[in-house]
Chain A
Amino acid sequence: MSAKLVQKLDRVVIRFAGDSGDGMQLTGDRFTSQTALLGNDLSTLPNFPAEIRAPQGTLPGVSSFQLHFADHNVLTPGDAPDVLVAMNPAALKANLRDLPRGAAIIVNTDEFTKRNLSKVGYVENPLDDGSLDSYDVHPVALTSIAVEALVSFTDLTRKEKERAKNMFALGLLSWLYTRPMDGTEAFLKAKFADKPEILEANLAALRAGFNYGETTEDFAVAYEVAPAAMPAGTYRNVTGNVALSLGLVAAAHRAHLPLFLGSYPITPASDILHTLAGLKRYGVATMQAEDEIAGVGAALGASFGGALGVTTTSGPGLALKAETIGLAVSLELPLIVCDIQRGGPSTGLPTKTEQADLLQALFGRNGESPVAVVAPATPADCFDVAVEAVRIATTYRTPVIVLSDGYLANGSEPWRLPRTADLPDIAVEFATEPNAVDDKGQPTFHPYLRDPETLARPWAIPGTPGLEHRVGGIEKADVTGNISYDPDNHDHMTRLRQAKIDGIADTIEPLVVDDPTDDADVLVLGWGSTFGPIAAGVRLARATGARVAQAHLRHLNPFPANTGDVLRSYQRVIVPEMNLGQLAMLLRAKYLVDIESHTSVRGLPFQAGELADVIATAVASVSDVPLKEAAK
């Protein structure tokens, strides 16, 4: 074994960057799996271009994958990488500004040719001109060493051999951070089961990378990051989109309803369609519709028939679905609408994250058209939020909009597996009997006779004898559901529909505040995917002695019942959002509290350090106790 030094670290942030054809997402994924199996806590952030293959070697073509892993609880993918793996000059140039001085850079020197350098505007080779002197640069001829390692593979072309360079890089990093590679080897064996030559080449490149680390003098030390102390249980690594898909399946199972997905492909939501399409074994039906309107229409038709109708999309698609969601509000049928938000308006930034659809979700329909809105906080939380969305939709017979985003969708973290049997029991009861008598004293069915507790109407599905009825988008008379244009009835029904949604607050958990010292004057409140960065920012701020409280909203409509009380009990309330202050506006309007909005719409999650500074400033303004210098 290696005679080299092994040094312990408590945390590392690595960014793999290369051309979009270099396989960086796969490399990152595999390194993440190896890291997860080792028991580190982790968080990942893939970042890829909107173009499938931008011209090779150019800045727009750079694709990257960042991973933060540690021997303790991890909240974000990390503000700044400790290590950058740059597969070409474009990857170096695009990522260098994010690197702190002293960070390690592993560069593939083979790609630093005159031509490639000039493609990205380097006049001098940065590896030679001293411009990287303040970094710890490790030049490695990754491509040529990988090709060299594959000399015996005479049937493979040079191009095919070059393609294995990402496995070589993975092997090298696996050595550097002492990660076991068995998982990746098994993965490759499954992936290339019917291409033995390619499989062997990839395995050889992987091992060559590992051995290179062990033998070369350029890497003097290998590192270890001990497993994190995590609650006992069985874990897997999961992305938000996969967790959301699994949550929908598990919830449908608990509700004893068949799951029907009607969807039209759109980034970053398509992976949910892909995942669910592969789950026919579990009775899941998926339909790739002709457009978003048909996707949600088919889902609503399925709900009318007694299935759990689901549709998945991103912002532009949510806009198209608006009218049908309004119909579902009027029909009072369960419907799950997942909006995996991306940068807008219009096509906006398809592959970048944003949370600017909040107001669209709440209000983006004609008429008074209230729906429940929930948002997951982390990739794994997408599972729980999907279950909660299904609970609300089926209990209250209402559309529920789930607001995830690109950051959660593609980011991943360890997930402690729940037991299916422990998930909430959300079994649905369909109406089977008449619920009224008509003027002639005959039993009859009133489709809008409500449950006094939830205000939900009965779900009577076709095929149920004696309950034949018609529903539609025209205003209907309370109780009977017959068409009604009566002014008082419309006023009454509008208020009833609102009261039903407001009443959901009775069955959701109160807003929980994390305030270790119990005497903070400043509250940081967030929603959705900002949870990780906010919690990390709060942690940094507290380390400097700042007394700050944190709370996070999962339910955006209705808000938890105690939200106003919580807001009013702090001197200052800061709401960071990846939009221009949408939640802040809602809270101000509803609770008359002077919310301070902190916003950023750069297509990227907040950085913990940035939020820590915002918090520190706020805390300093209301406190006489000086804070320690931040330990950054």
Chain B
Amino acid sequence: MTTDLGMPSSGPGAPGAHGTAGVPRLTDGTALTKKDFTSDQEVRWCPGCGDYAILAAVQGFLPELGLKRENIVFVSGIGCSSRFPYYLDTYGMHSIHGRAPAIATGLAATREDLSVWVVTGDGDALSIGGNHLIHALRRNVNLKILLFNNEIYGLTKGQYSPTSHVGQVTKSTPLGSLDTPFNPVSLALGAEASFVARTMDSDRQHLTSVLRAAAEHRGSALVEIYQNCPIFNDGVFDVLKDRTEAAARILHLADGEEVGTAETVVVRDDRGSLAVVPRAEADPARIVRHDESAHDPSAAFALSRLDSPDLGHVPMGIFRNVQRPTYDDSLREQIASARTGEVTDADIDALLAGRDTWTVGA
């Protein structure tokens, strides 16, 4: 049996609404600065950790939202990356390993007036918390999930993670890791995510543009951020930080544009698979133009499969950005349409009594 969910046609949950609709904004003429989002806590990541750059980018970006600071909440799990909330002067919760998406779901579902962000690591999100991550994405809870991917367990001092490449030698895999890694973008797309993007700690401008798009999106947004851990997995993304190498490897995803580099371009073969070919050899009819709002996630998924362990080609940017009802808006809508006004003592009395009562006289 299906039933009309009574989807909101206006208000914060309306189709196409802004991700922060319903969150109180600063009054006109006032603005916050990066400093307003900096807490008094000493930042304790290792020198050179990519987390610093991400923190700076987020602190620099948040004022742009124009939201009241007290209506922003960061919820994290456990890991180096998950210390993040302590350094932001917003409301925050440093929770337990892997559970932040679940905790944030309860918060977002009950508080439409909050902008809720989740900070998680590759181990936190994809190992212990894999189940919560996929379900938060499937439900499309209005959460912005920042997944700091350093392909290693940082906090526990260097064991391999579910994104470490096969054969990676770490403390717990002295002869090389055996298991196939997750591709976080493919995983998120497979979990019905409505917004999926990838960016990098060192590219402040790109990172900020992705944060902006994620914040605008109403629904769950998964943002994978390549992050360098100089202590336990130094340099895994270095080829993407070198200007010439990056130009040859990064496939920039821009809505409506061809996907490729200066020299190469992505084409689709007869079976729908994608390949990166030199521009000169590309059949113009087969060149892939990116459509981030395509309803069918297959094209975005195919793009995510262009990754290779040697970082030969790395799509960067927004893979998918589609509108569908969010769990939290829909839940609030169900409640709102069931309500008949303020609940009074008399309403509760009637609820307690139910249908079959009898009275015993004094």
Contact partner of A285 among B110, B131, B358, CB < 8 A?
B110
Flag whether A12 is at the interface (Cβ < 8 A): no
Flag whether A283 is at the interface (Cβ < 8 A): yes
Q: Which residues of B contact A237 (CB under 8 A)?
A: 356
Whether B331 contacts A285 by the Cβ 8 Å rule is: yes
Contact partner of B358 among A235, A291, A293, A326, CB < 8 A?
A235
Q: In the A-B complex, list the 4 residue pairs whose CB atoms are closest, starting with the nearest.
A: A472-B94, A301-B106, A298-B106, A297-B102
Can you identify 11 A-B contacts, CB atoms within 8 angstroms?
A: A33-B356, A231-B360, A234-B353, A237-B356, A283-B339, A297-B106, A299-B106, A301-B102, A323-B99, A383-B352, A462-B107
For the complex, give the distance between the alpha carbons of A417 and B339 in Å: 24
Whether B96 contacts A473 by the Cβ 8 Å rule is: yes
Residue numbers of B with Cβ under 8 A of A are: 24, 39, 41, 68-73, 75, 78, 85-86, 88-96, 99, 102-111, 113-114, 131-132, 135, 331-332, 334-335, 338-340, 343, 345-349, 351-354, 356-362
Whether A294 contacts B111 by the Cβ 8 Å rule is: no
Q: How many residues from A make CB contacts under 8 Å with B? A: 73
Q: Which residues of A contact B109 (CB under 8 A)?
A: 260, 285, 287, 298, 302
Given A280-B338, A470-B85: A249 and B348 within 8 A (CB)?
yes
For the complex, give the distance between the alpha carbons of A402 and B228 in Å: 46
Whether A483 contacts B107 by the Cβ 8 Å rule is: no
Flag whether A39 is at the interface (Cβ < 8 A): yes
Closest Cβ neighbor of A300 among chain B residues: B103
Whether B111 contacts A462 by the Cβ 8 Å rule is: yes
Q: Which residues of A contact B335 (CB under 8 A)?
A: 280, 283-285
Q: Which residues of A contact B91 (CB under 8 A)?
A: 462, 468-470
Whether A331 contacts B93 by the Cβ 8 Å rule is: yes
For the complex, give the distance between the alpha carbons of A421 and B349 in Å: 9
Contact partner of A471 among B24, B41, B68, B94, CB < 8 A?
B94
Whether A235 contacts B360 by the Cβ 8 Å rule is: yes
Contact partner of B95 among A281, A291, A327, CB < 8 A?
A327
Flag whether A14 is at the interface (Cβ < 8 A): no
Q: A294-B102, A323-B96, A327-B96 are in contact. List 4 more A-B contacts (CB 8 A).
A: A232-B362, A463-B24, A470-B91, A473-B94
Whether A463 contacts B348 by the Cβ 8 Å rule is: no
Whether B345 contacts A420 by the Cβ 8 Å rule is: yes
Whether B343 contacts A282 by the Cβ 8 Å rule is: yes
Whether B331 contacts A287 by the Cβ 8 Å rule is: yes
Flag whether A559 is at the interface (Cβ < 8 A): no
Whether A468 contacts B359 by the Cβ 8 Å rule is: no
Flag whether A290 is at the interface (Cβ < 8 A): yes
Q: Which residues of B contact A281 (CB under 8 A)?
A: 338-340, 343
Flag whether A558 is at the interface (Cβ < 8 A): no
Q: When each residue 11-54 of chain A gets 1 if its CB lies under 8 Å from chain B and 0 otherwise, what string results?
A: 00000000000000000000001001101000000000000000
Whether A305 contacts B111 by the Cβ 8 Å rule is: yes
For the complex, give the distance between the alpha carbons of A368 and B161 in Å: 31
Q: When each residue 271-286 of chain A gets 1 if its CB lies under 8 Å from chain B and 0 otherwise, what string results?
A: 0000000011111110
Closest Cβ neighbor of B95 among chain A residues: A327
For the complex, give the distance between the alpha carbons of A420 and B353 in Å: 11
Contact partner of B106 among A183, A238, A260, A418, CB < 8 A?
A260
Given A285-B331, A327-B96, A472-B93: A301 and B358 within 8 A (CB)?
no
Flag whether A487 is at the interface (Cβ < 8 A): no
Whether B86 contacts A470 by the Cβ 8 Å rule is: yes
Whether B352 contacts A420 by the Cβ 8 Å rule is: yes
Flag whether A464 is at the interface (Cβ < 8 A): yes
Q: Which residues of B contact A331 (CB under 8 A)?
A: 93
Q: Which residues of A contact B103 (CB under 8 A)?
A: 297-298, 300-301, 304
CB-contacts of A403-431 with B (<8 A): 417-421
Closest Cβ neighbor of B100 among chain A residues: A297
Closest Cβ neighbor of B85 among chain A residues: A470
Whether A300 contacts B348 by the Cβ 8 Å rule is: no
For the complex, give the distance between the alpha carbons of A194 and B34 in Å: 63
For the complex, give the distance between the alpha carbons of A281 and B131 in Å: 31
Whether A293 contacts B73 by the Cβ 8 Å rule is: no
Whether A417 contacts B352 by the Cβ 8 Å rule is: yes
Q: When each residue 432-469 of chain A gets 1 if its CB lies under 8 Å from chain B and 0 otherwise, what string results?
A: 00000000000000000000000000000011111111
Closest Cβ neighbor of A330 among chain B residues: B96
Report the minimum CB–CB distance from A329 to chain B (whole Å): 12
Whether B96 contacts A298 by the Cβ 8 Å rule is: no
Q: Which residues of A contact B110 (CB under 8 A)?
A: 258, 260, 285, 301-302, 305-307
Report the minimum CB–CB distance from A38 to chain B (whole Å): 8
Residue numbers of A with Cβ under 8 A of B are: 33, 36-37, 39, 183, 227, 230-238, 246, 249-250, 253, 258, 260, 262, 279-285, 287, 289-291, 293-294, 297-307, 309, 323-324, 326-327, 331, 383, 417-421, 462-474, 482-483
Contact partner of B92 among A246, A420, A471, CB < 8 A?
A471
Closest Cβ neighbor of A233 among chain B residues: B360
Whether A294 contacts B352 by the Cβ 8 Å rule is: no
Whether A300 contacts B106 by the Cβ 8 Å rule is: yes
For the complex, give the distance between the alpha carbons of A80 and B131 in Å: 48
Contact partner of A282 among B92, B99, B351, CB < 8 A?
B351
Q: Which residues of B contact A37 (CB under 8 A)?
A: 356, 358
Contact partner of B105 among A294, A327, A466, A482, CB < 8 A?
A294
Given A285-B109, A298-B103, A466-B70: A304 and B93 within 8 A (CB)?
yes
Closest Cβ neighbor of B92 among chain A residues: A470
Whether B347 contacts A282 by the Cβ 8 Å rule is: yes
Whether B358 contacts A36 by the Cβ 8 Å rule is: yes
Whether A482 contacts B361 by the Cβ 8 Å rule is: no
For the complex, give the distance between the alpha carbons of A300 and B94 in Å: 13
Report the minimum CB–CB distance from B329 to chain A (whole Å): 12
Most interface-central of A280, A299, A420 (chain B CB within 10 A):
A420
Q: Which residues of B contact A298 (CB under 8 A)?
A: 102-103, 105-106, 109
Whether B70 contacts A467 by the Cβ 8 Å rule is: yes
Report the minimum CB–CB distance from A482 to chain B (whole Å): 7
For the complex, give the distance between the alpha carbons of A250 and B351 in Å: 9
For the complex, give the distance between the alpha carbons of A471 and B72 in Å: 14
Report the minimum CB–CB distance from B356 to chain A (whole Å): 6
Whether B131 contacts A470 by the Cβ 8 Å rule is: no
Closest Cβ neighbor of B334 among chain A residues: A280
Closest Cβ neighbor of B138 among chain A residues: A290
Report the minimum CB–CB distance from B131 to chain A (whole Å): 6
Report the minimum CB–CB distance from A30 to chain B (whole Å): 11
Q: Which residues of A contact B41 (CB under 8 A)?
A: 470, 482-483
Report the minimum CB–CB distance from A10 to chain B (whole Å): 18
Report the minimum CB–CB distance from A471 to chain B (whole Å): 6
Given A232-B361, A236-B354, A293-B99: A287 and B106 within 8 A (CB)?
yes
Q: Which residues of B contact A464 (CB under 8 A)?
A: 70
Contact partner of A287 among B99, B105, B348, CB < 8 A?
B105
For the complex, give the distance between the alpha carbons of A293 and B95 in Å: 13
Q: Which residues of A contact B106 (CB under 8 A)?
A: 260, 262, 287, 297-305, 307, 309
Closest Cβ neighbor of A414 among chain B residues: B358
Whether B135 contacts A294 by the Cβ 8 Å rule is: yes
Whether B359 contacts A233 by the Cβ 8 Å rule is: yes
Most interface-central of A258, A282, A466 (chain B CB within 10 A):
A282
Q: Which residues of A contact B334 (CB under 8 A)?
A: 280
Whether B131 contacts A419 by the Cβ 8 Å rule is: no
For the complex, give the distance between the alpha carbons of A301 and B110 in Å: 9
For the complex, give the distance between the alpha carbons of A249 and B351 in Å: 9
Whether B114 contacts A462 by the Cβ 8 Å rule is: yes
Q: Which residues of A contact B86 (CB under 8 A)?
A: 470, 472, 483
Closest Cβ neighbor of A469 among chain B residues: B91
For the complex, give the distance between the alpha carbons of A469 and B334 in Å: 32
Report the minimum CB–CB distance from A398 to chain B (whole Å): 17
Q: Which residues of B contact A249 (CB under 8 A)?
A: 348, 351
Whether B68 contacts A290 by the Cβ 8 Å rule is: no
Closest Cβ neighbor of B39 among chain A residues: A470
